[in-house]
């Protein structure tokens, strides 16, 4: 049933001499605790508590390289989870540099969602999906739920829940491992429950999955199919998880299913390494259960808090001055549920932390702008892009924007409308989605009349009604209906999709991915529509999308449209998403939420709005 590989015998740490370890280039420049984490036994699972700026990514990368080089571990035996796709690509690149010539294609390295996508693509039939299933984002979820609410209103069902609240409810249920059938309906959740039930049915019929569904379906399949679970627990001898503090309950349940237990359930035979920092848990609102998952991890792997072989602490910070660390340690020390560590650094002195108590938000913003001017005057060589203003919520940015504009300081808000959320990009991708999968009704609805084709509201309603009655997709219905298929505008749309599909998917001479996109954008009239309206920025964004597709092809060595559409939904690091804009020639202050600043570094930071009730 599953692809078999010859079992590789894994060596133990004792097979490597001390001299050999000291001479290893992989260990150069690592501090003693980092070396312990990299070279720890292959027979012992561990928890690595890694403080901010302590080099955890380097440790994880070196650990994987060390396993491959010294313990006869094969890439296919490694299952490594990162927080972002960008981190996964960087780790893969670093390992390739450390071990030239080692092929890493068989190694499972990516985010939870990316790895679940890979798993479900392989086992799509067992999961009840077609091989070309589509992953939808939160915007798609919201559109689907809004349409369902409208249908219920037309059916005279009273509702009080907002669409976004219902989407959050559905995602929360899935993150807790609950299907609509698992939840008891009551007065408070009755309408949400009704929409959740319809939503699940709709996604199944449309061959679509949302983010939470990727993990939930993978977990359910591993639970249900015993042989499948045994296959993967034997296959993955080494499981490594980065940013473990941000793991959700559902993700933790999946990890537990990856444990190769003995018949008496007393020993876990594969080796786990979780790397995280309980002091940096900031995603509880997304379902992360830091303390619970750490306690559960220690329990199921039979690890003891006081055993230094079980818990390794990386406490040397390479990023901040001792002044910053002492302040951070003093604040976090009030959290009594933490496992405990004390960051230290060799970087002495540095600027002192200043505290300013403002009378109101306007006073605070004006003080920050004045301080930026003073700092820029004293340190003209430090660019404005190395100065950041952090706040709790995006709503707090308005006062700072006004003050910066009044002060003549350029700024950039990080985390505004993302590239793939722009209307022109959504429309462009909808053309690609419909060509890749004619049953994608959401893509059909977006582009059937865009650019404008003079297809009236009555015709669109007739298509919806007819497709529902025939229980077929919207595109299938217009192609088969004897009346609609002869209407000039409808016929032109059918011809457009068919010709693009034939040119791209069925052509004997394969097209580059970006060439596919250019061809579709030109044939569909998208480019011409924006040119006529002189919408230069939208045209530039379409051009940037083609560039992103070209980069994707080079990075992943593929022109597969299905793989591209799946990856961009999961990967928020493409183009301008998930990173600072380094293409802007104008130096600007960086403004973002505390959550948006995760993983970024700046020379000078303002932490604003430290009010109790903000």
Torsion of CA 523, 529, 532, 535, to 10 degrees: -120
Q: Could you list the beta-strand ranges (E) of 218-300.
A: 238-241, 271-276
Q: How far is CA 221 from CA 116, 151, 272, in A?
A: 11, 33, 22
**Which residue carries 């379902």 as its tokens?**
287
Count of alpha carbons within 13 Å of 445, Cβ hemisphere only? 12
The Cα 575–Cα 116 span in angstroms is 24
The label of the residue with tokens 């409308």 reads 417
CA dihedral 494, 499, 504, 506 (to 10 degrees): 100
Q: Quickly list H helices, 258-321.
A: 290-300
For residues 270 and 67, give the distance between their C-alpha atoms in angstroms, rounded to a whole number: 13
Report the alpha-carbon distance of residue 131 to residue 356 in Å, rounded.
57
The answer to whether 253 and 303 have CB atoms below 8 angstroms apart is: no
Q: What whole-number distance in Å separates Cα of residue 317 and Cα of residue 4?
A: 43
Nearest to 407 by CA among 390, 389, 392: 389
**Is 524 annotated as belonging to a binding site?**
no
User: Which residues, 6+ apart, have CB-to-CB distance to 188 below 8 Å?
Assistant: none
Is there a contact between 250 and 216 (Cβ–Cβ < 8 Å)? yes
> 344: which strand partners?
316
Query: Alpha-carbon distance 163 to 147, whole Å?
Result: 9
- Residue 59 CA to residue 372 CA, distance in Å, equals 36
Q: Is 327 annotated as a binding residue?
A: no
Tokens 């390295």 correspond to 109
57 is in an annotated binding site: yes
Classify residue 392 by burial, with Cβ atoms within 10 Å: 0-12, 13-18, 19+.
Answer: middle
Task: Annotate 120-189 with DSSP letters as a single string.
Answer: HHHTTTTTT--TT-EE--HHHHHHHHHHHHHHHHHTT------HHHHHHHHHHHHHTT--GGGS---TTT
Are the beta carbons of 305 and 338 closer than 8 angstroms?
no
- Of 400, 394, 411, 393, the closest CA to residue 366 belongs to 400
CA distance 557 to 579: 23
* Residue 50 labeled ligand binder: yes
- Residue 208's H or E segment, with its range, is strand 208-209
**In angstroms, rounded to a whole number, what is the distance separating the alpha carbons of residues 214 and 390?**
32
56 annotated to bind ligand: yes
Among 73, 15, 64, 75, smallest CA distance to 37 is for: 64
Q: Has 114 been labeled as part of a binding site?
A: no
Radius of gyration of the CA atoms of the chain, in A: 27
177 Rama class: left (phi>0) / alpha (psi -120 to 50) / beta? left
| 407 in a labelled binding site | no
55 is in an annotated binding site: yes
Residues annotated within a binding site: 50-57
Residues annotated within a binding site for ATP: 50-57
């Amino acid at each position: 049933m599953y692809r078999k590989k010859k079992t590789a015998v894994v060596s133990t740490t004792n097979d490597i001499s001390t001299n050999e370890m000291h001479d290893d280039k992989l260990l150069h420049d690592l501090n003693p605790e980092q070396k312990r984490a990299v070279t720890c036994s292959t027979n012992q699972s561990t928890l690595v508590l890694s403080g901010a700026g302590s080099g955890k990514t380097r440790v994880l990368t070196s650990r994987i390289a060390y396993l491959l080089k010294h313990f006869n571990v094969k890439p296919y035996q490694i299952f490594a989870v990162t927080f972002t796709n960008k981190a996964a690509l960087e780790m893969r690149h670093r390992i390739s540099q450390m071990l030239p010539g080692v092929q890493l294609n068989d190694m499972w390295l990516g985010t939870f969602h990316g790895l679940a996508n890979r798993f479900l693509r392989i086992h799509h039939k067992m999961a009840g999906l077609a091989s070309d299933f589509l992953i939808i984002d939160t915007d798609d979820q919201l559109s689907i739920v809004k349409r369902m609410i409208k249908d219920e209103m037309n059916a005279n069902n009273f509702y009080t829940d907002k669409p976004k609240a219902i989407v959050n409810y559905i995602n929360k249920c899935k993150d807790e491992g609950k299907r609509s059938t698992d939840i008891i309906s009551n007065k408070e959740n009755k309408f949400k429950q009704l929409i959740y039930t319809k939503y699940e049915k709709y996604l199944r019929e449309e061959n679509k999955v949302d983010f939470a569904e990727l993990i939930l379906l993978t977990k359910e399949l591993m639970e249900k199919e015993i042989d499948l679970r045994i296959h993967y627990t034997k296959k993955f001898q080494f499981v490594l998880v980065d940013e473990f503090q941000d793991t959700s309950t559902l993700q933790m349940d999946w990890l537990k299913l990856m444990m190769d237990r003995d018949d008496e359930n007393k020993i876990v035979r594969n080796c786990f390494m979780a790397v995280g920092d309980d002091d940096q848990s900031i995603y509880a609102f997304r379902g992360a259960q830091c303390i619970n998952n750490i306690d559960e991890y220690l329990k199921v792997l039979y690890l003891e808090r006081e055993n230094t072989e079980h818990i390794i602490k990386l406490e040397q910070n390479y990023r901040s001055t001792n002044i910053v660390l002492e302040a951070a340690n003093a604040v976090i020390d009030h959290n009594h549920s933490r496992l405990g560590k004390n960051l230290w650094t060799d970087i002495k002195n540095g600027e002192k932390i200043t505290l300013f108590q403002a009378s109101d938000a306007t006073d605070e913003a004006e003080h920050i702008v004045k301080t930026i001017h003073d700092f820029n005057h004293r340190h003209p060589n430090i660019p404005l892009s190395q100065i950041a203003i952090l706040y709790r919520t995006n709503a707090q940015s308005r006062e700072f924007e006004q003050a910066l504009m009044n002060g003549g300081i350029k700024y950039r808000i990080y985390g505004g409308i993302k590239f793939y959320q722009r209307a022109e990009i959504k429309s462009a991708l909808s053309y690609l989605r419909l060509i890749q999968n004619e049953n994608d009704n959401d893509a059909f609805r977006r582009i059937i009349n865009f650019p404008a084709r003079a297809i009236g509201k009555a015709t669109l309603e007739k298509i919806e009604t007819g497709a529902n009655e025939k229980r077929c997709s919207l595109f299938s219905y217009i192609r088969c209906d004897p009346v609609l298929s002869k209407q000039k505008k409808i016929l032109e749309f059918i011809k457009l999709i068919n010709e693009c599909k034939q040119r791209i998917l069925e052509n004997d001479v394969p097209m580059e991915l970006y060439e596919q996109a250019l061809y579709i954008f030109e044939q569909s009239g998208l480019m011409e529509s924006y040119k006529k309206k002189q919408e230069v920025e939208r045209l530039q964004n379409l051009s940037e999308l083609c560039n992103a597709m070209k980069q994707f092809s080079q990075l992943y060595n593929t022109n597969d449209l299905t793989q591209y559409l799946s990856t961009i939904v999961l990967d928020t690091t493409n183009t301008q998403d998930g990173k600072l804009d380094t293409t802007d020639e104008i130096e600007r202050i960086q403004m973002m939420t505390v959550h948006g600043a995760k993983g970024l570094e700046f020379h000078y930071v303002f932490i604003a709005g430290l009010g109790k009730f903000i």
